[in-house]
């Protein structure tokens, strides 16, 4: 009978790297770094102090050895002169009783033992003792050679205690500095915690709220100012987005209401074929209007994502303007308007986009220009570095208030709702598209209005334009 064995052993555990970056405490890290620096700094300083103290002890011991050694030599010479070796031994024994922290042993010139102190009070083989050799000639012509040892154990014990005290001072100083730094950093970070709490309180219902420091700190104030500036831009964008959503709903609601109303009327009773065709034509116009709004919105969305224009070979700006003017001849003749083109420039650009922007500018100027007046399309080279071209359409008509000029290129913005012509409705995206096309050519829109003259246009950037 065939059997199958199942391997139920657990797979080996594999340590997975941390996917999220590890966090750390600035206060703890700073405290640790300062504590280590303090330990190193104090360690070096106190090590120098310990070395200097040890050198002082050594100098003191050497001085004591020299002084006592000279005394021994004088005593041996004097005793040898008065009574020979017997007197010398007696004098050395007498000195030994009065100097318990020393040890003396003397040999004759032939190496035989002459004198040695009784059992010393300290370990003469220990490294803490220091010694010196001396020799004294005798009156008999011989030579006494001696060794003097000095007990330094007490000073060595003092040095060890001092070393322990210095090490303790270094560790205590490092711990104290680390704790004090951590406490001080926590106190200094309280404004950051306060800012974090203020930031957490900001939401969509309180977009106008700003953060502020209880005490102005030079290092934090630029961050606060930049954050408040960012929040101001976000608030402005949020307000514009809300207004934009409302405007889109409003613009789409009208054609949808027309479509629904006309369809309901057409279905309310039987209609002839011509009547149904008329309804379908009207509905088609509303659908085309809605499609135009959607297409313009898609185009603006692409421009907002940073899409750049596809530049072709350099072409004459004046020639492009003439082609657009020809397209608008009918509405211009209807209002008795004429156009003068001033200037020219060769520029590499996306020609269809530029024609669309020019068409929007001319359509806007035709709509609001005084009847039987003259329009001017001016082309001039920008004086800025890198070169560029500025183009604007100038018309005579009602002036635009200065407060409306900055918003003239906003989506669905109308300086005066009364200026919307019901017989020629437009959905308020023309100048927004002009602004988007200018940005796609690394330019910017411009608008001026004063003394009954309005100038609206845009600038285009180019590496080597040639103006005429």
pLDDT tens for 251-263 read 677 778 888 888 8
Mean pLDDT of the chain: 80
> What is the distance between the alpha carbons of residues 316 and 321, in angstroms, rounded to a whole number?
9
Residue 422 pLDDT > 60: no
Confidence of residue 231 (pLDDT cuts 50, 70, 90): confident
Pick among 1.10.3470, 3.30.1330, 3.30.450, 1.10.357: CATH of 26-173: 3.30.450
- CATH number attached to the domain at 308-467: 3.30.565.10
Q: Do domains 221-302 and 308-467 have the same CATH topology?
A: no
Half-sphere exposure of residue 424, counting CA atoms within 13 Å on the CB side?
A: 8
Best CA proximity match to 432, nearest among 242, 302, 291, 256: 302
- Give residue 439's pLDDT: 85
Q: In terms of pTM, does the model score above 0.75?
A: no
Confidence of residue 386 (pLDDT cuts 50, 70, 90): low
Could you tell me the two tokens for 77?
A: 């010479």
- What stretches of 90-142 adopt beta strand conformation (E)? 102-108, 113-116, 130-137
- Give residue 14's pLDDT: 46
Does CATH place domain 221-302 in 1.10.287.130?
Answer: yes
- Give residue 426's pLDDT: 55
pLDDT tens for 67-79 read 888 888 888 888 8
Token match 């370990």: residue? 123
Strand 338-342 vs strand 374-381: parallel, antiparallel, or unpaired? Answer: parallel
pLDDT tens for 280-322 read 888 888 888 788 777 777 777 777 777 787 888 888 889 999 9
Residue 98 near residue 104 (C-beta atoms within 8 A): no
For residue 65, the 8-state DSSP code is H
Q: For the chain, what's the residue count? A: 468
Residue 421 pLDDT > 50: no
Could you tell me the two tokens for 358?
A: 């020019």
For helices 221-267 and 273-304, what crossing angle results, to 10°? 170
- Give residue 85's pLDDT: 79
> What is the distance between the alpha carbons of residues 377 and 323, in angstroms, rounded to a whole number?
13
Q: In the chain, what are the domain boundaries?
A: 26-173, 221-302, 308-467
Give exposure, 77-95, as e/b (b: 16+ Cβ within 10 Å): bebbeeeebebbbebbeeb
Best CA proximity match to 96, nearest among 78, 113, 118, 71: 118
Residue 365 near residue 456 (C-beta atoms within 8 A): yes
Mean pLDDT of 154-174: 87
Half-sphere exposure of residue 383, counting CA atoms within 13 Å on the CB side?
A: 0
């Amino acid at each position: 009978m065939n059997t199958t064995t199942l391997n139920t052993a657990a797979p080996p555990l594999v340590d997975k790297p941390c996917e999220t970056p590890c966090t750390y405490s600035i206060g703890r890290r700073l405290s640790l770094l300062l504590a280590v620096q303090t330990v190193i700094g104090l360690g070096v300083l106190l090590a120098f102090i310990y070395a200097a103290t040890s050198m002082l002890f050594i100098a003191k011991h050497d001085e004591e050895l020299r002084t006592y050694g000279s005394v021994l030599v004088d005593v041996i010479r004097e005793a040898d002169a008065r009574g020979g070796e017997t007197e010398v031994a007696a004098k050395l024994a007498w000195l030994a009783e009065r100097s318990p922290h020393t040890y003396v042993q003397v040999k004759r010139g032939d190496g035989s033992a002459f004198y040695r102190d009784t059992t010393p009070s300290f370990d003469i083989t220990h490294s803490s003792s220091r010694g010196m050799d001396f020799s004294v000639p005798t009156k008999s012509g011989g030579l006494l050679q001696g060794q003097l040892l000095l007990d330094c154990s007490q000073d060595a014990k003092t040095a060890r205690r001092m070393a322990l005290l210095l090490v303790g001072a270094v560790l205590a100083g490092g711990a104290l500095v680390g704790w004090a730094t951590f406490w001080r950093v926590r106190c200094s970070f309280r404004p950051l915690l306060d800012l974090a709490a203020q930031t957490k309180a900001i939401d969509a219902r309180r977009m106008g709220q700003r953060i502020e420091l209880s005490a102005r700190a030079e290092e934090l104030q630029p961050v606060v100012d930049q954050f408040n500036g960012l929040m101001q831009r976000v608030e402005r964008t949020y307000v514009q987005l809300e207004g934009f959503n409302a405007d889109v709903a409003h613009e789409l609601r009208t054609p949808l209401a027309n479509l629904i109303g006309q369809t309901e009327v057409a279905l309310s009773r039987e209609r002839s074929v011509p009547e149904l065709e008329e309804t379908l034509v009207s509905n088609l116009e509303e659908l085309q209007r809605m499609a135009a709004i959607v297409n313009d919105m898609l185009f603006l969305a692409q421009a907002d994502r940073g899409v750049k224009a596809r530049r072709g070979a350099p072409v004459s700006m004046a020639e492009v303007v003439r082609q657009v003017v020809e397209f608008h001849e009918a509405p211009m003749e209807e209002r008795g308007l004429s156009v003068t083109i001033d200037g020219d420039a060769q520029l590499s650009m996306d020609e269809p986009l530029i024609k669309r922007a020019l068409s929007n500018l001319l359509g806007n100027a035709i709509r609001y220009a005084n009847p039987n007046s003259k329009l001017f399309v001016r082309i001039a080279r920008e004086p800025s570095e890198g070169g560029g071209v500025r183009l604007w359409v100038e018309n005579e008509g009602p002036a635009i208030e200065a407060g409306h000029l900055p918003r003239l290129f906003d989506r669905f913005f109308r300086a005066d709702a009364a200026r919307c012509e019901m017989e020629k409705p437009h959905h308020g995206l023309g100048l927004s598209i002009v602004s988007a096309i200018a940005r796609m050519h690394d330019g910017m829109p411009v608008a001026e209005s004063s003394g009954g003259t309005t100038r609206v246009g845009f600038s285009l950037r180019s590496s080597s334009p040639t103006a005429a």
